Structure formats: C-alpha cells, structure tokens
Amino acid sequence: MESKITMIEAQKRKGRFNVYIDGQYAFPISENVMIKYRIFKGMAVDDELRNELINADSISKLYTKAINFLSHQLRTENEVVAKLRDFSEDEEHIAAVMAKLVELNLVNDQSYADSYVRTEVKKQDKGPKNVFFKLKEKKIDENIINNSLSNFYSYDEMIENCRVQATKIFNKHKRDAFKNRLDKTKISLMQKGYSMDAILEVMEELDFQPDEDDQLALLRQQGDKIWQRNRKYSGLERVMKTKQALYRKGFDMDDISSFIDQKNLEE
C-alpha cells in the first residue's frame, strides 16, 4: 500500500507545519520546503522523498538561524560557519546553507573586508598592518585583505591617520621627559600598525620640540622624589643611582648633573 500524506497541521510557530502520513505524525516541515516541493494532502510519499523532505527542513531551519545571525551585522564566512556548528553537526547541511548565502551575496568576505577597512580608515586609529592582522584573525584570505587595503587605505590616508595618532600619543605622555615622549610615540605607532617609513616621515613633519621650562620643572619634580627615595644611600652611590634613574626616564644628562649639583648645595 502506498503511503500518503493524510494531514498537514499548522504549528503554533508561524511558518511551521506538522506532516502526518497514513494517519501518523511523520515529521515537521517549514512553509518554504512545502512550497518548494509542492506538498499537499493526499500526496504519495516514499522513503526517498521522506528523507529528502526531512533533510530539506533541517537545512531550512539552519538557514533561518544563519539569517538571524546575519541580521545584526556583517559576518565573515568563517564566523557564520562557526555559528552554524553550534546548531548542527551535519557538515553537508552547513555547506548547503553557506552555498545559498554566498549565492545571494548575504555572506561575502570581500565585502566584509572592504567595509572593515573603510571603517578603520575613518576611525583614524589602526595602521594598515594592524588592519591586515585583524582581518587575518577572522580567517579572511590574504589576497582579499590586500585587495581591500589597496582600494580603501591609501598612502595619504595612512600618513594622515599616523599624524593624528602621533599627536594624540605625544600629548598623552606630557609627564614624560621629551626623549621618552618621542620614543613612546614611535613605539605606540608601530604597535598600531604603521610602517617605520610612515612614522619617521610624520615625526619629521610634526617636528616636536621640547619646552625647556617644562622639562626642567618635570626633572625637578621627578628628581626630588628619586633623590628622596635614595636617601638610604650615601655620597657617590646616591648620586649615581639618582642620575641613572633620571637618565632612564629620558632627561638630558647635563640637566641631570645641574640638578644633582643643586641638591648637593642644598644639603
């Protein structure tokens, strides 16, 4: 006797239905799958079609999960696959969903990389190297990343962003000796992903200059603390330890010697 669909019952969840075969509940199904396979009451169903419908419904549910995940923001192919693996262990189903998403351009690593690079350029924070590695961490192909950087992160934009960051970083370290401020600025710019050529060009252009009065005031302020901290040492040892500490902080040795001479006169 041929098996037939005897009833199609709507679930409480919109777009979901229960299918009954020969009077017995058989499997759930989505509205999309019903339409695609033209399912109707009285339709003949063999084992092959039954399995095909069950698989199609699983893929349909997985596709809905993917759409929900993509509704909040752009995602990479790797991120979507990782998310789908939270819901299914069937790699064939996941591959089918991914193929559909890519076909509909709902997932596109090139578009993702383009958008990410444009956003980072506007933020004026990360240099090209950092942008590259951030995208690489997201498992995006290097050719795609380089293509985005070539198209959306120009040399002039890199120099401008490096200039903005250099000024910001230099001003942040105003309590440091001038030499250390320069060193910290260069190091931070390197950590942000700017090339050394770009950093040197920007630093030369900005031509930061020390304020002598501020530097001397800063030296006296920090020097007094260090001198006091080294009071347990006597004579030359106290002098040498104080000089070494201040030199490590980036102060000029002549200024340090003058400060030490003044401290010795005071005592």
pLDDT score recorded for residue 187: 96
Query: Which portions of the chain are predicted below pLDDT 50?
Result: none
Q: Which residues contact 153 (CB under 8 A, 6 or more apart)?
A: 117, 120, 121, 128, 131
pLDDT score recorded for residue 203: 95
pLDDT score recorded for residue 1: 55
pLDDT score recorded for residue 131: 97
Report domain extents, the chain.
5-103, 109-153, 156-206, 216-266
Q: Return the beta strands (E) in the chain as ranges.
A: 5-10, 16-21, 24-30
Reduced DSSP (H G I as helix, E B as strand, rest coil) percent helix, strand, coil of the chain, to 5: 65, 10, 25
Token representation of residue 197: 């050529």
pLDDT score recorded for residue 163: 97
pLDDT score recorded for residue 233: 86
pLDDT score recorded for residue 267: 67
Write out the CATH class of domain 109-153.
mainly alpha
pLDDT score recorded for residue 222: 85
Model-level pTM? 0.78
CA distance 106 to 63: 11
> Could you give the C-alpha distances from 78 to 71, 107, 115, 135, 142, in angstroms and in order?
16, 10, 16, 11, 14
Instruction: Please choose, from the candidates 166, 170, 174, 171, the residue with its C-alpha nearest in 3D space to the C-alpha of residue 196.
Output: 166
* CB neighbours of residue 61 within 10 Å: 18
5-103 and 156-206 in the same fold: yes
**H or E segment to which residue 181 belongs:** helix 178-191
Q: In what order do the strands lie in the sheet with 24-30?
A: 5-10, 16-21, 24-30
DSSP string for residues in 82-104 = HHHTTT---HHHHHHHHHHHHHT
CA distance 80 to 183: 42
CATH topology for 156-206? Arc Repressor Mutant, subunit A (1.10.10)
Each residue of 142-184: pLDDT tens digit?
A: 999 999 999 999 999 999 999 999 999 999 998 888 999 999 9
Token representation of residue 158: 């890199």
Is 1.10.10.10 the CATH number for 5-103?
Answer: yes
CA distance 32 to 57: 9
